[in-house]
Chains A and B, each alone.
Chain A
Amino acid sequence: MKRLIYLISALMLLASCGEKGGTQPQLTLKQKLCTEWHSTTVSLDADIYISFADNGTFELYQKIVEGAYRLYRGTWNLEEDLLTGKYNDGEDWAAAYKVTIVNNVLTLTSYNDTAEESVFEKAKIPSEIKETCEIEVRSR
Chain B
Amino acid sequence: MKTSHTILTALVLVSISCTKEISEYTPQVQEQHTLSAKLVGSCEGEPIPGTLLVRLDAGTVKTIEDGRFTEISKEVLPDIAVTSFTPAIPVKPKNMEVARKYGLDQWFVVGFDPQTRPETVAATMAASRRVRSIQYNRSVQPVWDGKAYPFKEVPVTKSSPAPQSESTITFNDTFAAHQWNLVNDGTIAKGSVAGADIGVKDAWRLTGGDPSVVVAVFDCAILTRHEDLVNAVWSNEAEINGEAGVDDDGNGFIDDKNGFNFVNCFAINADYVNGALNGEQVATIKGSALNSFAGSGHGTHVAGIIGATNNNGKGVSSIAGGTGNGDGVRLMTCQIFQGSSYCTDAQNAAAFIYAADNGACIAQCSYGNSNIITSDDLYINGGEVNGVNIKPSTLENAALKYFLDPANSNHESLVGNMAIFAAGNHQNPYSIYPGALPYVISVTAFRCDFMPAQYTNYGPGCKIAAPGGEVTELAAAGANADKYDYSTTILSTGVSGSATPSPGIETEKGKHYVYMQGTSMACPHVSGVVALGISYAKKLGKKLTREEMTSLLLTSVNDLDQYTAGTCYHNNMGTGALDAWKFLMAIEGTPSVMAEAGKAVKINLSKYCNAHDEYTIDIDEESRTSLGLASDPVIKDGYLEIQCNNIGAGKITLSAAVGKDTTTEDGIGEMKYSREISIVSRPFATDNGGWL
A94 touches B680 (CB 8 A): no
Contact of B686 among A93, A108, A138 (CB under 8 A): A93
A114 touches B678 (CB 8 A): no
Q: How far is the CB of B535 from chain A (nearest CB, A)?
A: 15
Contact of B589 among A67, A85, A95, A140 (CB under 8 A): A67
B205 within 8 A of A: yes
Interface size, chain A (Cβ < 8 Å)? 36
A4-12, A26-34, A41-49, A99-107 - interface stretch: A41-49
User: What are the residues of chain A within 8 A of B202 when measuring CB–CB?
Assistant: 138-140
Chain A CB within 10 A, most for which of B540, B581, B649: B649
Give complex CA distance A64, B687 in Å. 15
Known A-B contacts A62-B691, A134-B206, A138-B202; A67 and B686 likewise in contact (beta carbons under 8 Å): no
User: What are the residues of chain B within 8 A of A108 when measuring CB–CB?
Assistant: 692
B688 touches A110 (CB 8 A): no
B205 touches A94 (CB 8 A): no
A64 touches B195 (CB 8 A): no
Q: CB-CB contacts of B170-204 with A at 8 A, as 1s and 0s?
A: 00000000000000000000000011000101100
B34 within 8 A of A: no
Q: Which of B552-597 contact A (CB under 8 A)?
A: 581, 588-592
Q: Which of A112-140 contact B (CB under 8 A)?
A: 112, 114, 116, 118, 134-140
B686 touches A116 (CB 8 A): no
Give complex CA distance A131, B87 in Å. 53
B406 within 8 A of A: no
Number of A-B contacts (CB under 8 A): 89
Contact of B688 among A45, A91, A134, A140 (CB under 8 A): A91
Q: How far is the CB of A77 from chain B (nearest CB, A)?
A: 13
User: What are the residues of chain B within 8 A of A64 when measuring CB–CB?
Assistant: 592, 678, 680, 689, 691
User: What are the residues of chain A within 8 A of B195 when measuring CB–CB?
Assistant: 140
Give complex CA distance A140, B197 in Å. 11
Q: How far is the CB of A92 from chain B (nearest CB, A)?
A: 8
Chain B CB within 10 A, most for which of A48, A62, A116, A140: A140
User: What are the residues of chain A within 8 A of B683 when measuring CB–CB?
Assistant: 110, 112, 114, 116
B592 touches A68 (CB 8 A): no
Contact of B684 among A66, A116, A137, A139 (CB under 8 A): A116
B682 within 8 A of A: yes
| Smallest CB gap from A48: residue in B | B691
Give complex CA distance A63, B237 in Å. 42
Give complex CA distance A107, B41 in Å. 72
B690 within 8 A of A: yes
Chain A CB within 10 A, most for which of B589, B678, B690: B690
Chain A CB within 10 A, most for which of B195, B588, B690, B691: B691
| Smallest CB gap from A92: residue in B | B686
User: What are the residues of chain A within 8 A of B205 when measuring CB–CB?
Assistant: 134-135
Q: How far is the CB of B195 from chain A (nearest CB, A)?
A: 6
- Other than the known A66-B590, A137-B688, what 10 A-B pairs have Cβ atoms closer than 8 Å? A45-B649, A64-B689, A65-B590, A65-B680, A66-B678, A70-B689, A91-B690, A110-B684, A116-B683, A116-B684
- Nearest 5 pairs of A and B residues by beta carbon: A67-B589, A114-B683, A66-B589, A64-B592, A94-B684
A-to-B contact residues, CB < 8 Å: 44-46, 48, 50, 60, 62, 64-68, 70, 72, 85, 87, 89, 91-95, 97, 108, 110, 112, 114, 116, 118, 134-140
